[in-house]
Amino acid sequence: MKQSNQLYQAHRPVVMGKQGMVATAHPLASQAGLRMLLEGGNAIDAAVAAAATLNVVEPYMSGVGGIGVLLCYLAREGQIRVLNFSGRAPYAATPDRYTPETKQVGLRSPLVPGNVAGWLTLLETYGSMERSRVLAPAITYAEHGAPVSYKNHRFIKENIPLLSRFPTSAQVFLPNGKAPRPGSLLSQPALAQSLRLIAEGGKEVFYRGELAERMVRFVQEQDGLLTLQDLADYEARWEEPITTTYRGYHVHVPPPNSSAFQMLATLNILEQFDLSSLGYGSPRLLHLLMEAIKLSVTDRIRYAGDPDHTSIPLRGLLSKEYALSQQRRIDWQQASVVSGERYSREPAPESLRSGIPEEYTAGLTTHLAAADGEGNVVTITQTLGNAFGCGVLLGDSGIFLNNMAYWFEIDPDSDSPNLIAPWKRVDFCVAPMQVLHKNAFLLSLGTPGSYGILQTTVQMLLNLLDFGMNIQEAIEAPRFRYYEGRRVQMERRFPIEVRKALQELGHQVEVIDEWSWTVGGGQGIWRDPESGVWQGGADPRRDGYAVGF
């Protein structure tokens, strides 16, 4: 890691602590995790407490009806494990059962919810506290009310058209037809009761017991597809991470069906250049980064999917030889055209085409992390899909299900590997990251942001490893997000002369707010290699806060 020359001045201090650190998208969730650590729990207990509390204080981003994936670094074993709880399409999910509307909104759009399986599998395997203790903060906030932040108010207000379509949702989140005002208390007693049932009955009550029956009954009354068999058959899955080296650092991410391999492919291309010599924030650096991302996006669209249903040539995609061939395709004088962030049957004729990696084989989401004094670290990204997921609060359960069927393709003539099918997993853009250096844990990093996750996380990582920023600086620094064609959104904090230079190269620059949530809401934890002190950073683009002791 290079030494910082104060390339970017953060607005917040780095939070530090020796015994533990929690960084989430909301201060109350961070404090819930910290409470577990202060009471003698480990990073696993803290992460589950924080993840469940986010259901209450950030209800539009994630919850028990959502899905996710995590990395867990186990200090005593010196290894990283992946837990995949990304849900599955119902057994009844076939392309003819969906329309563009029903795959996005309403009770045909959910996949089997995985978060409860993920949280409790993690807790049962490596946690040290009882479920009731870990879920207590979430239950308390749901029952007695959590303060509505200014961003809470904004997100709820922006989703009035969705929430007002469904009486059960409007009753809780739109009292008197309006979003609750900042500083008021939002109580969710039905959710509190569901969380209490989960604390008492565990996965059994959610996937096979009382809650399962209540949820399925309501879903089927509203013409949904989920069945008791779908829930009963679901389990979270332990997996091995995939990895690449970047300038001597070992970068670990989840395997497919996560799309995280796009980030590793981008890093492999960029590793061949001395980025610091190009100058932080320079047009030449940004052009290179954008072009490398577009090459990796194109391959991800072509190959990503459920590995149980499609062949994904990871060895080729992640080989250094393939990266060398990819970097030769970069035109330093002209921006290339990219088809977009996801599959399109008819991309623009001049769009980049995917490479041939087989030759080289010889949205609204939330992110959190927790670390403890022993050195264990949990890094989680979880989601409902779009804001409030499917939009429908399930009767008297207080639960929103996800709308992740939206990310499948439903055209039966599609050649996309992401065509919906029974019990299939979606191409999942959620992509938490952990980095090791010299066999020691160094970094936990991640963000929400739909397919922008795969661009934002790389930008934050480069800020740390190539430009020597601290964790808070790396998260706060201005970011961009590429879409279709040559269209790129850039935060207004990028200097106007930089944006003009990129336009001269053909990039179609759209200026967004100085601090835009569309480019994510990252959280990170860095461990000082010499002292072992944890350093936490959180994103002011949302309500993120890091706390430690």
Q: Tell me, what amino acid is at 16?
A: M
Query: Is residue 6 scored above 80 in pLDDT?
Result: no
User: Using CA atoms, how far apart are residues 277 and 215, in angstroms rounded to an integer?
Assistant: 56
- The answer to whether residues 121 and 83 belong to one domain is yes
- The answer to whether residues 323 and 383 belong to one domain is no
Residue 50 lies in a domain: yes
Q: How confident is the model at residue 279 (pLDDT cuts 50, 70, 90)?
A: very high
| Contact status, residue 369 vs residue 527, Cβ threshold 8 Å | no
Residue 147 lies in a domain: yes
Alpha carbon separation from 514 to 367, 451, 455, 517 (Å, rounded): 21, 20, 18, 10
**Hey, which residues does 490 pair with through a beta bridge?**
480, 511
Q: What is the mean pLDDT of residues 458-485?
A: 97
Lookup result for tokens 């005002």: 181
Based on the number of CB atoms within 10 Å of its own CB, is 458 exposed (0-12), middle (13-18) or buried (19 or more)? Answer: buried
| Contact status, residue 382 vs residue 66, Cβ threshold 8 Å | yes
- The answer to whether residues 182 and 254 belong to one domain is no
- The answer to whether residues 347 and 295 belong to one domain is yes
Determine the angle formed by the axes of helices 261-270 and 453-465, rounding to 10 degrees: 40
Pick the closest to residue 134 from 212, 23, 53, 28 (CA basis).
Answer: 53
DSSP category for residue 37: H
Residue 455 lies in a domain: yes
| Contact status, residue 339 vs residue 416, Cβ threshold 8 Å | no
- The answer to whether residues 348 and 262 belong to one domain is yes
Backbone angles phi, psi at 411, to 5 degrees: -75, 115
- The answer to whether residues 137 and 271 belong to one domain is no
- The answer to whether residues 297 and 346 belong to one domain is yes
- The answer to whether residues 150 and 112 belong to one domain is yes
CATH of the domain at 316: 1.10.246.130
DSSP, collapsed to helix, strand or coil, labels residue 136 as helix
According to the model, what pLDDT value does residue 4 have? 52
Tell me how crowded residue 81 is: count the other CB atoms within 10 A of its CB.
Answer: 17
| Contact status, residue 375 vs residue 397, Cβ threshold 8 Å | no
Pick the closest to residue 192 from 232, 159, 145 (CA basis).
Answer: 145
User: Using CA atoms, how far apart are residues 374 and 109, in angstroms rounded to an integer?
Assistant: 41
According to the model, what pLDDT value does residue 342 have? 56
Residue 16 lies in a domain: no
Q: What is the mean pLDDT of residues 169-183?
A: 96
Number of domains in the chain: 2
Query: Is residue 358 scored above 70 in pLDDT?
Result: no
Sign of CA dihedral 432, 435, 440, 441: negative
Backbone angles phi, psi at 84, to 5 degrees: -100, 115
Residue 413 lies in a domain: no
Residue 10 lies in a domain: no
DSSP category for residue 374: T
Residue 428 lies in a domain: no
Instruction: Give the pair of three-digit tokens for residue 87.
Output: 């849900």
Q: How confident is the model at residue 464 (pLDDT cuts 50, 70, 90)?
A: very high
Q: What is the mean pLDDT of residues 248-259?
A: 98
Q: Tell me, what amino acid is at 73?
A: Y
Quick: pLDDT tens for 44-64.
Answer: 999 999 999 999 999 999 999
| Contact status, residue 390 vs residue 404, Cβ threshold 8 Å | no
| Contact status, residue 488 vs residue 418, Cβ threshold 8 Å | no
CA 348 to mean position of chain CA atoms: 29
DSSP, collapsed to helix, strand or coil, labels residue 462 as helix
Quick: pLDDT tens for 304-345.
Answer: 999 999 999 999 999 999 999 999 999 999 999 998 775 455
User: Using CA atoms, how far apart are residues 58 and 60, in angstroms rounded to an integer?
Assistant: 6
Instruction: Give the pair of three-digit tokens for residue 254.
Output: 């989840």
Q: What is the mean pLDDT of residues 135-161?
A: 97
User: Using CA atoms, how far apart are residues 469 and 460, in angstroms rounded to an integer?
Assistant: 9
State how beta strands 508-512 and 487-491 pair: parallel
- The answer to whether residues 75 and 159 belong to one domain is yes
According to the model, what pLDDT value does residue 355 have? 46
- The answer to whether residues 487 and 386 belong to one domain is no
| Contact status, residue 546 vs residue 536, Cβ threshold 8 Å | yes
According to the model, what pLDDT value does residue 348 have? 53
Q: What is the layout of strands, in order, in the sheet containing 79-85?
A: 237-239, 79-85, 67-74, 377-385, 364-372, 20-24, 545-548
Q: How confident is the model at residue 10 (pLDDT cuts 50, 70, 90)?
A: confident
| Cα 514-515-517 angle, rounded to 5 deg | 135
Cα end-to-end span (Å), the chain: 25
Residue 431 lies in a domain: no
- The answer to whether residues 228 and 326 belong to one domain is no
Q: Which of 7-11, 202-206, 515-519 has the highest mean pLDDT?
A: 202-206
According to the model, what pLDDT value does residue 343 have? 46
Radius of gyration of the chain (CA): 22
Query: Is residue 118 scored above 70 in pLDDT?
Result: yes
Provide the residue range defining the domain that includes 77. Answer: 24-237+368-407
| Contact status, residue 470 vs residue 405, Cβ threshold 8 Å | no
Query: Is residue 356 scored above 80 in pLDDT?
Result: no
- The answer to whether residues 247 and 163 belong to one domain is no
Q: What is the mean pLDDT of residues 60-89?
A: 97
The residues carrying an active-site annotation are 365
DSSP, collapsed to helix, strand or coil, labels residue 59 as coil
